[in-house]
Amino acid sequence: MDSTSTSNHDIEPSKIKFHYDEEEQVEQDETVTESSNIEIDEDTSTCDPTTAAVDDDDSMVVGGDKTSSDYYFDSYSHFGIHEEMLKDVVRTKTYQNVIYKNSFLFKDKVVLDVGAGTGILSLFCAKVGAKHVYAIECSSMADMAQEIVKHNGFSDVITIIKGKVEEIDLPVPQVDIIISEWMGYFLLYENMLDTVLYARDKWLVKDGLVLPDKASLCLTAIEDADYKEDKIEFWNSVYGFDMSCIRKQAMMEPLVDTVDQNQIVTNCQLLKTMDISKMTSGDASFTAPFKLVAERDDYIHAFVAYFDVSFTRCHKLMGFSTGPKSRGTHWKQTVLYLEDVISVCQGEAVVGSMTVAPNRKNPRDVDIMLKYSLNGRHCIVSRTQYYRMR
């Protein structure tokens, strides 16, 4: 489906079987639906105007003069982050099974691995008979990947290229397949998707494969009084001193953490589906409406975002979800705390929209504008809040 195709409805659970290893089969109650561009008219009120300038004013942000790119590639030089990703069974086993169970897609094909890290995806591809794999890695982990390839006897099949995708030259004019594990927290943090799209437009043959080819961002709402008190309200009085200036910054920074599914108060709504094989870079900036309907009487303290990834060109649909009802991943979920404590009754709907875009100064960061409103029996609220993933 095109990245801009739309429909607006609640997510209805469907059974998708994801295989993590040869013996274990895990069945997920997750969904794949389409995004929506339907506009919702609502009354909004801005919060503290000092936070509204999140795009341009870093004066209130600690370390605001540093760019994310200053840290990005160096962070991937440390083995610890690769250990965490490799031990993420949902992530790594899904990629392995996509490749091993669909070897016909890779046999005698030229593959480009974007952001290769240790080279694990390249090794998977080589093992099932890829003609050649070009693995691009900008960090110093490229040197380790070269040794790993040599030790495993694939030096004649895998070529490690150290450098930025946008700056290197491939030894071949085109590739048949591009594979990459580009997803960041909140799906789009670190902005590696742009690099995949650049490689696609420059080297992928007509009708070539991009894996994965679909990614969807979803939203739900949770009760989280205790943790919000511990992480946010804590700053109002610290050993008797007012440190509420830090609270303002803490509210603007989404929290990456694991959410207990029992905290979920509403339905889960799909915000945006991206077709990586067709989309443009600009499609990763969007505004999407939402309507979250309470499934019980409760309080809402935060919205929670997560993403699903699909490999639709396989013999059978394969993929995984990072949602709170699914097996845990290193991406966890992204929690956006609200200024308001929303009292909601079963059947009432919190409506609004989320606007997502790369930060203009540091494109690897993500700016989020969240508008929400409720006209309920016990609570009437309308607000706009700003966040920045950094």
Band the pLDDT of 62: cuts 50, 70, 90.
Answer: very low
The reported pLDDT for the residue numbered 60 is 41
Higher-pLDDT residue of 14, 232: 232
Q: Has 42 been annotated as catalytic?
A: no
Which has the higher per-residue pLDDT, 220 or 57?
220
pLDDT in tens, 108-141: 999 999 999 999 999 999 999 999 999 999 999 9
Which of these is catalytic: 30, 181, 223, 348?
A: 181
- 239: left (phi > 0), else alpha (psi -120 to 50), else beta? left
Mean pLDDT of 265-290: 97
DSSP symbols for 125-144: HHHTT-SEEEEEE-STHHHH
Integer CA distances (angstroms), 263 to 7, 40, 222, 267, 306, in order: 27, 27, 5, 12, 15
pLDDT-derived band at 79 (thresholds 50, 70, 90) equals confident
Q: Is the pLDDT of residue 169 over 60?
A: yes
Q: Which segment of 24-38, 283-297, 362-376 scores lowest on mean pLDDT?
A: 24-38
What is the DSSP secondary-structure string of 312-372? TTSSS-EEEE-STTS---TT-EEEEEEEEEEEE-TT-EEEEEEEEEE-SSSTTSEEEEEEE
Identify the pLDDT of residue 9: 39
Model pLDDT, residue 33 = 36
- Please tell me the predicted confidence (pLDDT) of residue 68: 52
pLDDT above 70 coverage of the chain, percent: 80
The pLDDT of 180-207, averaged and rounded, is 96
| Predicted local confidence at residue 40, as pLDDT | 30
pLDDT band at 191 (very low <50, low <70, confident <90, very high): confident
pLDDT at site 316:
93
Question: What are residue 373's phi and psi, to 5 degrees?
Answer: -150, 155
Range from 14-28, 41-55, 68-82, 196-210 carrying the lowest mean pLDDT = 41-55
Say if residue 50's pLDDT is above 70: no
Q: What is the mean pLDDT of the chain?
A: 85
What is the pLDDT, as a whole number, of residue 65? 52
Q: What confidence score (pLDDT) does residue 71 get?
A: 52
pLDDT band at 78 (very low <50, low <70, confident <90, very high): low
Q: Output the six-digit token pair for 295.
A: 């499934």
**Looking at per-residue confidence, does 131 or 73 come out higher?**
131
Q: What is the mean pLDDT of residues 210-224?
A: 98
**Residue 190 annotated in active site:** yes
pTM of the model: 0.82
Active-site entry in 30, 137, 190, 348: 190
